[in-house]
Homo-oligomer: A and B are copies of this chain.
């Protein structure tokens, strides 16, 4: 694609940065390649150089130099993005924040903390465990908290604890003009001014480079009860979920795994589970309330023909019970040797979830494609893992078309083209479809805050 940027600025930028970053600025092809290509269907493109930073002030200095020369700036965390967020289609400087990995403060009384952007969620949780606290947002990968903030990540327990949108108190960011801002205070709520925190959460590096994040924390629950329940159909799974949420059961996790996944798991682990859509659940609370939740759900499931219902309390048993959910991806992968897998992501109102899933399954079958499904059903969010041989152009085309229809279907049902993976480079064409005239205002904001369009160009609402 044509670059919207002035050319030939990068050589000068690299020379200036190397002068003070030394060997923390790399132009080695392997490093650039690793910082430009993710594990998804996005083709990716390497940046011209990668800067390994240690502080907000270093990021500021880099962004200022890039601003001067019109060089693109692409933030990089752990490289676990699923929508090509960190590829560099117009070249530029990748800012690798992984060495900014200090936990700056933990305020036990306030249930909050402040971390550098490169701290990963597992690192934070390991640090918090002894204090009886945890950070709930769990996108699967051990992503950096800066990256999770920038992509508005969520995952399995958003149904109870919310997404990054609800769990970021404020961020420190370097804006396109090199200014450092903090977007809010440590107060749990505020009506003071525009919500810049939420504007930066999910902006995918296109408005500023997030260098520090203040997060809400939670006490580790006294009791965690896990449960697994097979159901006769996807519809029954969804109905059980809707009923549970309407009744106010504060379920912590409620995950759908489809029959294809169960079949794969039986083969992978030599088991004999009922091959049918299955819900994996987790309940948090006091001993009494977690068990009460689990029992109330059992009654709901029974009414809908679900069961047998398995339940576990001890950590070891819980792990075993949830094993199929944890292994879902590898179990299906083992059935498809030589094929690549592509992650997909849509989210719909929960009343439309069963329709959206079953219509997508029918489309997969009609196109002779293998696409097992997992869903964070409490939020109406699901993923098809699309398997495909990319060198088979015809198959690849079918896969892309099925995914296109899945997204169109989700939007038509009042949902979104991405529940948690983000827009990145991969879903830009859907922004207009989903937002209509609102997109123009996103672009106005982008132009106002980054008039030279140096912040992660080609992603999200950025040109």
Question: Among the listed B107, B109, B192, B203, which residue makes an inter-chain contact with A431, where contact means beta carbons less than 8 Å apart?
Answer: B192
Contact status B381-A189, CB under 8 Å: yes
Is B349 in contact with A186, judged by CB distance below 8 angstroms?
A: yes
**Given that A288-B292, A417-B192 are known contacts, is A434 also in contact with B185, CB under 8 Å in the complex?**
yes
C-alpha spacing A437/B177, complex, angstroms: 12
CB A56 to nearest CB in B, in angstroms, measures: 13
Q: Does B109 lie within 8 Å of A242, measured CB to CB?
A: yes
The closest CB in chain B to the CB of A183 belongs to B438
Any chain B CB within 8 A of the CB of A98? no
Residue in B closest to A284 when the chains form the complex, CB atoms = B248
Q: CA separation between A439 and B245, bound complex, in Å?
A: 39
Nearest to A447 among chain B residues (CB) is B448
Complex contacts, A203 vs chain B, CB 8 Å: 194
Give the distance to chain B from A110, nearest Cβ to Cβ, in Å: 4
Which residues of B lie under 8 Å from residue A446 when comparing CB positions? 194
Copies of this chain per assembly = 2
Would you give the shortest CB distance from A155 to chain B, in whole angstroms?
10
A436 and B182 in contact, given A195-B201, A246-B109, A246-B111 (Cβ under 8 angstroms): yes
Binary B-proximity of A207-243 (CB < 8 A = 1, otherwise 0)? 1000000000011011000000000000000000010
Mask: chain A, 390-419; 1 = CB below 8 Å from B; 0 = not:
000000000000000000001100111111
- Mask, A284-328, CB within 8 Å of B = 1, is 111011001000100000000000000000000000000000000
B-contacting 9-mer, from A33-41, A161-169, A331-339, A358-366? A161-169
Contact, CB under 8 Å: A108 / B246: yes
Task: Tell me whether B193 and A431 are in contact (CB under 8 A).
Answer: yes
CB distance from A239 to the nearest CB of B (A): 9
| Residues on the B chain within 8 Å of A175, using CB | 441
> Which A positions have Cβ atoms within 8 angstroms of B?
107-112, 132, 151-154, 158, 162-163, 165-166, 175, 179-196, 198-199, 201-203, 207, 218-219, 221-222, 242, 245-248, 250, 284-286, 288-289, 292, 296, 347-351, 379-381, 410-411, 414-423, 427, 430-431, 434-442, 444-449, 460-461
